[in-house]
């Protein structure tokens, strides 16, 4: 491709909306342009990089038996109504009607479409196992798109679906994806870790996320350097301290004026926050048939700990949680700032599993400026909902080995889910086993967002001058730069001939044939970030050939004309082999 014909231009300044360096460079280098919040056009350079990512995805998916198909973006709402997600997924699901007033959705994921195909195509155990995948546009009406391609509303995803007749088969396909995902990310030059995760609206009994650790991420990852424990903070466990045994004392109401926070209460009573019980009020949207019911929930955690809303949602089977309003709290019999589980009505009370073993805590009295001392679970109140609902934090004890945990920010670039039979049961996906009995197809779901992957690679591989693409997904492998001679046409004639030779040898070449200054051309080359730069100029020819420079190196060398093609091939083969060699077997961690 000649840069004089390229449909994009480089920009001097970063866009005002850029929230990360990688995003700014993708825009400045002419890879993407923002059309609306969370909606981007991908320009030719970006498309070439994405196509190379797609090639890696297809190669790795095909290697584990994947069969590619295509499913539509617009789906009938009836499928989503069959699974119930039409009613339980919130406003992120884009709903619309056709000219006949039939409900439709823009697919944010394709489990329903897969289930519909499975119930039509799979009848016998002889047709299992199967693995299907597609690379398709999706739409999720995210209320807070940010950081360029990291969090968008319209995106392209590779999603694959495993179909099995046994749970052992699901486990094999799940583990195969676990390995293949590491292969994909490493071949794209992106370092990731796997973490146990919440299955969320996908359902199922096991999920892993593949995280790129970077401060731009919105997820908090809990890590143990000692034993390797990793988990998304949404589901991370900790080894909770064992409170000292004490005799349960009688309740005592105390006057605690102006102590609406745990910190104020602990300071007023001269006690540690660990001796208090914190009541957090939330309104939960809980499925009830084909409708959603709002229930007021009171979560009780120890005062020195933080509530984990994902764990609370799972404990009460809520699809959404929001802070309870003051009116809702008062109507339940609780008092904001002084709430406790005493004297409430129509409230789901959920107690953290540390509370029953924590004696003589101080809790609210549901009366302004008053608290209760010596509150003991089991003696003074009970609830059937006791669960781990606290959030892990840096410094907490690892649940596996007891060492201090770390917390880092991360971007989720891939996920895998053991769906089991949830979707199969909802959609009637059955097969006949060896005995002629109908059984439910056992499913798995596995996704990678291509744009987010591209955005994360840009975050990982750049320097002060621009992008530094890994060879495997660079839009072009070679950036050929012509510096026009003022008095000689030899540089142009040489560059044209070299362009033809490199192309004929099978290399992707971006040829800067523009009438621009050397400074502009070199700055653009650094900004675009192609791995290998070849410069043809009067000076290089006088010095014996073509100047060769790797994007991630500072050294330059002159290569004789007759050796340029073979030298370029050798360098690119080495860069390619290094990335291929990074795709090594990994230990599976459940």
Beta bridge partners of 443: 163, 420
| Strand 206-213 with 193-196, pairing | antiparallel
Within this chain, domains 252-387 and 476-580 share the same CATH topology: no
Q: d(Cα 276, Cα 272) in Å, to the nearest integer?
A: 8
Average pLDDT over residues 471-495: 94
Which CATH code is given to the segment(s) 54-235+407-459?
Answer: 3.30.930.10
At residue 172, the 3 state secondary structure works out as: helix
Pair 360, 275: CB distance under 8 Å: yes
Pair 477, 506: CB distance under 8 Å: no
Beta bridge partners of 468: none
Burial annotation 26-54 (CB, 10 A radius, 16+ → b, else e): bbbbbbbebeeebebebbebbebbbebbe
| Strand 361-367 with 370-375, pairing | antiparallel
Give the number of residues written for the chain: 590
Average pLDDT over residues 356-383: 95
Give the pLDDT band (50/70/90) at residue 203. low
Superfamily of domain 252-387: YbaK/aminoacyl-tRNA synthetase-associated domain (3.90.960.10)
Print the SS3 string covering 423-445.
Answer: HHHHHCCEEECCCCCEEECEEEE
Q: d(Cα 437, Cα 476) in Å, to the nearest integer?
A: 55
Q: Please, is 584 exposed, middle or buried when counting C-beta atoms within 10 Å of its C-beta (0-12, 13-18, 19+)?
A: exposed
Domain extents in the chain: 54-235+407-459, 252-387, 476-580
Beta bridge partners of 509: 478
Q: Please, is 77 exposed, middle or buried when counting C-beta atoms within 10 Å of its C-beta (0-12, 13-18, 19+)?
A: middle
Give the pLDDT band (50/70/90) at residue 144. confident
Does position 492 have pLDDT exceeding 70, yes or no? Answer: yes
Which CATH code is given to the segment(s) 476-580?
Answer: 3.40.50.800
- Average pLDDT over all residues of the chain: 95
Average pLDDT over residues 529-539: 97
* Per-residue pLDDT reduced to its tens digit, 259-294: 999 999 999 999 999 999 999 999 999 887 777 889
Q: d(Cα 422, Cα 202) in Å, to the nearest integer?
A: 9
What residues contact 382, with CB distance under 8 A and at least 6 apart? none
Longest pairwise C-alpha distance within the chain: 100
At residue 375, the 3 state secondary structure works out as: strand
| Strand 406-420 with 206-213, pairing | antiparallel
* Per-residue pLDDT reduced to its tens digit, 69-113: 999 999 999 999 999 899 888 889 999 999 999 999 999 999 999
- Helix (H) / strand (E) element for 22: namely helix 21-28
């Amino acid at each position: 491709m000649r840069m004089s014909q390229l449909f994009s231009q480089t920009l001097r300044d970063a866009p005002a909306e850029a929230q990360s360096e990688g995003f700014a460079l993708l825009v400045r280098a002419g890879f993407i342009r923002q059309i609306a919040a969370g909606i981007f056009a991908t320009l030719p350079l970006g498309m070439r990089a994405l196509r190379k990512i797609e090639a890696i995805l297809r190669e790795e998916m095909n290697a584990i038996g994947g069969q590619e198909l295509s499913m539509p973006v617009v789906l009938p709402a009836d499928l989503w109504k069959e699974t119930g997600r039409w009613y339980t997924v919130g406003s992120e699901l884009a709903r619309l009607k056709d000219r006949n007033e039939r409900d439709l959705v823009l697919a944010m994921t394709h489990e329903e479409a897969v289930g519909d195909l499975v119930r039509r195509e799979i009848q016998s155990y002889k047709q299992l196992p199967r693995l299907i995948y597609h690379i398709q546009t999706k739409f999720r009406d995210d209320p807070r798109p940010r950081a360029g391609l990291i969090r968008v509303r319209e995106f392209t995803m590779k999603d694959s679906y495993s179909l099995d007749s046994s749970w052992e088969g699901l486990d094999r396909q799940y583990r195969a994806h676990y390995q293949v995902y590491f292969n994909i990310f490493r071949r794209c030059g992106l370092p990731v870790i796997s973490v146990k995760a919440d299955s969320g609206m996908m359902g199922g009994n096991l999920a892993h996320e593949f995280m790129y650790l970077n401060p731009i991420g919105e997820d908090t990852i809990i890590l143990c350097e000692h034993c390797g424990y990793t988990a998304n903070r949404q589901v991370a466990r900790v080894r909770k301290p064992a409170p000292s045994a004490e005799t349960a004392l009688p309740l005592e109401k105390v006057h605690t004026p102006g102590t609406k926070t745990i910190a104020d209460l602990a300071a007023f009573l001269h006690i540690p926050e660990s001796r208090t019980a914190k009541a957090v009020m939330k309104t939960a949207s809980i499925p009830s048939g084909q409708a959603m019911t709002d229930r007021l929930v009171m979560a009780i955690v120890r005062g020195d700990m933080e509530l984990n809303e994902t764990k609370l949602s799972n404990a009460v089977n809520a699809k959404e949680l929001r802070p309870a309003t003051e009116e809702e709290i008062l109507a339940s019999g609780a008092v904001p700032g002084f709430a406790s589980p005493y004297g409430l009505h129509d409230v789901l009370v959920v107690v953290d599993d540390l509370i029953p073993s924590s004696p003589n805590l101080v809790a609210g009295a549901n009366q302004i400026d008053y608290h209760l001392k010596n509150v003991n679970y089991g003696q003074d109140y009970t609830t059937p909902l006791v669960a781990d609902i606290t959030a892990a934090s840096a410094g907490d004890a690892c649940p596996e080995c007891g060492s201090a945990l770390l917390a880092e920010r991360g971007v989720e670039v891939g996920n895998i889910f053991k769906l089991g039979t949830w979707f199969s049961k909802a959609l009637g996906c059955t097969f006949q086993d060896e005995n002629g009995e109908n059984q439910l197809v056992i499913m798995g779901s596995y996704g990678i967002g291509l744009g987010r992957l591209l955005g994360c690679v840009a975050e990982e591989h750049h320097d002060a001058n621009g992008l530094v693409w890994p060879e495997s997904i660079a839009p072009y492998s070679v950036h050929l730069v012509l510096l026009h001679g003022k008095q000689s046409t030899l540089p142009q004639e040489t560059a044209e001939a070299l362009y033809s030779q490199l192309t004929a040898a099978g290399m992707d070449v971006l040829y800067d044939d523009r009438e621009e200054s050397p400074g502009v051309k070199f700055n653009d080359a650094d900004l675009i970030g192609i791995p290998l730069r070849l410069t043809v100029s009067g000076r290089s020819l006088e010095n014996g050939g073509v100047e060769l420079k790797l994007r991630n190196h500072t050294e330059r060398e002159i290569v004789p004309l007759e050796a340029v093609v073979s030298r370029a091939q050798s360098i690119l083969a080495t860069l390619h082999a290094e990335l291929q060699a990074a795709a090594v077997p990994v230990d599976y961690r459940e």
